[in-house]
Amino acid sequence: MLTDAVERYIQLRRVGGYKFDVPARLLRSFAKFSSDRNDARVCAATAIAWAAQGSSLEARHVRLQTVIGFARHCRAEDPSHELPPSGVFGGRNYSRHPVAFIFSSAQIALVLDAALKLRPRASLRPRTIHTLLGLLAATGLRAGEALRLRRADLTVDGLLIRETKFRKSRIVPIHATTRRALKAYLALRTRIAGDGAHVFVGMDGERLSLAAANAALHEVLAAVGLATARRGKSPRLHDLRHTWAVRALESSPREVEKIDRHMRAVTTYLGHVSVATGFWYLHSTPLLMKRIADACAANEERAS
């Protein structure tokens, strides 16, 4: 049955260093859908019918592309698996990177101030969201990394980020002001919510969920007039990480021999597996694009 093949494929991808959580969930759903239709192998018609259940055109495209990748893997050993066509849902080349919103320093200050005014006012929630958003802005952590933090992860060397997107752990150094803010929050969190293991907790005292963090961010953005600032859409928690990365790259030294070292430091801090991943952030602000254009022009002049 497809269920066994899906589990082997998921394991293979994870051994290769991929976290693979969302594709795994999708493929398990597809395997169940196929089983209900008594399909023992990948069937193109079944794949299209399952993908069509996606909530948007892009979601349907992603679902189908996920099955296509799985089908290609299966066909290497058994050509009887069908390969679904890729252009069923418009054939668009959806970007892997949604449009990012880059916060200004003033906007981040407004967001943090508004977080302290969240309701219920007498609860831990305002301080939790304020500290979480401040940490994301100050360190560029992924939202999931911050939400998984435990008390023991605040070490003398920085934050211990365990088993991240690429299944690696790293130490993230933090500024003294960030450390003080975390310690002050933890002291308050202990008095109100007890001595639990996780740093950020929700209203139930358990680890704060991503859904709850996103909902709080949307409340805050609406309060400061930024609810549609990302080209008509709401900025995301990930945009705080994106903002940190862009500002870090903007601070790069101008000397050519130092740029590579700076890029590698930023890449390592962010937890990327390669320097190439960080180049996505170069396209995010006019300042960075101007520097790239100036460097290209200078190279052309030297070559001529």
Catalytic residues: 142, 165, 238, 241, 272, 281
Beta strands in 71-227 (DSSP E): 154-155, 158-161, 170-172
CB atoms within 10 A of CB 141: 27
Give CA–CA dist 215/209, Å, rounded.
10
Bond prior to 23 in cis (omega within 30° of 0): no
Q: How many CA atoms lie within 13 A of 182 on its CB side?
A: 25
Q: Which residues contact 267 (CB under 8 A, 6 or more apart)?
A: 274, 275, 277, 278
Give CA–CA dist 267/276, Å, rounded.
9
Structure tokens, 149: 């933090």
Radius of gyration of the chain, Cα coordinates, nearest whole angstrom: 23
Give CA–CA dist 141/98, Å, rounded.
18
Sheet holding 154-155, edge to edge: 154-155, 158-161, 170-172
